[in-house]
């Protein structure tokens, strides 16, 4: 083989190795094992590097090859400080020696420490208290919630389901007349925060709205409507805890509600407006006046019974009254035709107008004739006067 061929093969091999190296280095680098560190947003976060080499030989990379953010400062010990850290600055940071070997790697999560929560509790019946909460700020970090409640010196846990980490329930609440302190603590890697609220179960009770509200007209009664409903499914249908219901209704287009109270699950309204649609709602409350009324059920529109005219059938005893002609003798004159009366009135008015015009014309002609007579008398008098002067 000639020297030229050998040189050419060497160049080709070098080019292939260079391409392979570039390809390998261009792939994202993810360390097999990296420490986990948490930092606070909008604060300075320092990442340590255990490199024994001087600062000039230490190099930091973000996610393997991405340059580190500009808002960083390299310390004399090789540590990297993120100034006023922002959310996009999180990721896998690695410290490399002069040969590019990884000396240390850390996976950085940025977020905020917990703050007080927005907690709300409600009782849909006498046996279960449900509490839920929402963070007022987004911490961007995984959080754990611990829910407890205290009555005097007794502390109990509010039951939480793994699938609903932001809720808890108290079953068969005790100390019905006492004040209970509910405590919700949020914990994340940057700290914890507790939220406390005071609960009085007898004031917290609020049933769900009645369900399956239906209406139907009362046959032959255009002023009545029958309304029925069911207990809310969350309320035990027990005689020990009956519900009181409040019904309200108004005609469509009116702003004034009429109301009725009852312990039954149906009622008949007797004062609706005939032939007019009405809006109906029902709410529920504890019969012993614990807690507050439920929300109103959705508005339901109903129409009372309307008389519908239908032709009689042959089986109807009154069928012949509608099918056979009936002759009625009467001594009273038949009623006048209103159309003929209207025509006569119009003709009378027209005749009056014509008569008025004729009278006006006659008066004008008479005045004109009288004026001519006066002028002729004056002329005759003047002629007589002139003849007398000549004589």
Q: HSE (CB half, 13 Å, CA atoms) of 388? A: 6
* Fold annotation for 28-111: Immunoglobulin-like (2.60.40)
> Could you give the CA distance from residue 243 to residue 231 in angstroms, rounded to a whole number?
8
Q: Is 93 helix (H, G, I), strand (E, B) or coil?
A: strand
**How far apart are alpha carbons 30 and 296 in whole angstroms?**
58
Q: For 221, which DSSP code?
A: E
User: What gap in Å lies between CA 218 and CA 247, rounded to an integer?
Assistant: 18
Q: Which residue is it, tokens 């080499």? A: 53
Whole-angstrom distance, CA of residue 213 vs CA of residue 226: 11
The per-residue pLDDT string of the chain (391 residues; one tens digit each, 9 = 90 and over) reads: 444 444 444 444 444 444 444 333 434 455 666 789 999 999 999 998 875 655 555 688 898 877 788 788 888 778 889 999 999 899 999 888 877 888 889 999 999 999 999 999 999 998 899 999 999 999 999 999 999 998 877 888 999 999 999 999 998 887 676 788 999 999 999 999 999 999 988 889 999 999 999 999 999 999 999 999 999 999 987 778 899 999 999 999 999 999 999 999 999 999 999 999 999 999 999 998 889 999 999 999 999 999 775 555 656 554 554 445 544 444 454 455 555 667 778 888 888 889 889 888 899 888 888 888 888 777 777 777 766 655 5
Q: What is the pLDDT of residue 196?
A: 94
Query: What single-letter DSSP state applies at residue 126?
Result: S
β-partners of residue 227 are 215, 267
Tell me which residue of 281, 285, 284 sits closest to 298, measured CA to CA.
281
Spatial distance between the Cα atoms of 292 and 205, rounded to a whole number of angstroms: 6
Domains 28-111 and 117-204 share a fold: yes
The continuous run of DSSP H or E covering 21 comes out as helix 3-26
The topology (CATH level 3) of 117-204 is Immunoglobulin-like (2.60.40)
Distance CA 85, CA 186 (A): 23
pLDDT at 366: 87
Element (H, E) at 105: strand 102-111
Closest CA to 292 of 336, 231, 343, 244: 244
Q: Among residues 381, 363, 360, which one has the least CA distance to residue 371?
A: 363
16's enclosing H/E stretch is helix 3-26
Architecture category of domain 211-302 in CATH: Sandwich (2.60)
- Note the residue count of the chain: 391
CA 200 to chain centre: 30
In percent, the amount of the chain with pLDDT more than 90 equals: 48
Helices (H) and strands (E) in the chain, counts: 4, 22
d(CA 44, CA 108): 13
DSSP state of 124: S
Distance CA 62, CA 91 (A): 7
* 367: three-class secondary structure by DSSP: helix
DSSP assigned state of 331: S
How many of the other CB atoms lie within 10 Å of CB of 82?
22
Domain limits of the chain?
A: 28-111, 117-204, 211-302
């Amino acid at each position: 083989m000639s020297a030229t061929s050998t040189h050419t093969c060497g160049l080709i091999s070098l080019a292939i190795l260079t391409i392979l190296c570039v390809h390998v280095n261009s792939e994202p680098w993810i360390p097999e094992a990296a420490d986990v560190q948490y930092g606070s947003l909008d604060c300075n976060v320092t990442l340590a590097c255990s490199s024994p080499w001087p600062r000039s030989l230490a190099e930091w990379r973000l996610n393997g090859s991405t340059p580190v953010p500009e808002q960083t400062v390299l310390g004399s010990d090789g540590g990297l400080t993120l100034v006023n850290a922002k959310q996009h600055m999180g990721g896998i940071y690695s410290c490399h020696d002069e040969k590019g070997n990884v000396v240390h790697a850390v996976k950085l999560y940025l977020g905020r420490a917990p703050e007080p929560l927005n907690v709300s509790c409600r009782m849909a019946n006498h046996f279960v208290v449900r509490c839920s909460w929402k963070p007022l700020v987004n911490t961007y970090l995984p959080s754990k919630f611990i829910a407890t409640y205290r009555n005097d010196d007794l502390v109990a846990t509010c039951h939480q389901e793994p699938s609903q980490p932001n809720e808890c329930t108290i079953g068969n609440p005790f100390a019905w007349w006492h004040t209970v302190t509910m405590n919700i603590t949020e914990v994340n890697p940057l700290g914890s925060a507790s939220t406390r609220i005071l609960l009085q179960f007898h004031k917290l009770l609020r049933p769900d709205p009645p369900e399956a509200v239906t209406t139907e007209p009362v046959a032959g009664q255009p002023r009545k409507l029958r309304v029925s409903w069911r207990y809310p499914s969350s309320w035990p249908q027990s005689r020990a805890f009956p519900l009181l219901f409040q019904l309200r209704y108004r005609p469509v287009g009116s702003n004034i509600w009429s109301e009725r109270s009852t312990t039954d699950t149906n009622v008949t309204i007797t004062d609706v407006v005939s032939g007019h649609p009405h809006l109906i709602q029902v709410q529920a409350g504890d019969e012993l006046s614990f807690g507050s009324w439920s929300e109103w059920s959705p508005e339901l529109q109903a129409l009372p019974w309307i008389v519908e005219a239908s032709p009689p059938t042959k089986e109807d005893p009154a069928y012949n009254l509608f099918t056979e002609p009936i002759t009625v003798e009467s001594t009273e004159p038949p009623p006048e035709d209103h159309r003929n009366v209207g025509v006569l009135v119009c003709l009378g008015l027209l005749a009056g107008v014509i008569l008025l015009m004729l009278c006006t014309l006659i008066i004008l002609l008479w005045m004109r004739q009288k004026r001519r007579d006066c002028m002729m008398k004056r002329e005759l008098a003047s002629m007589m006067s002139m003849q007398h002067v000549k004589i």
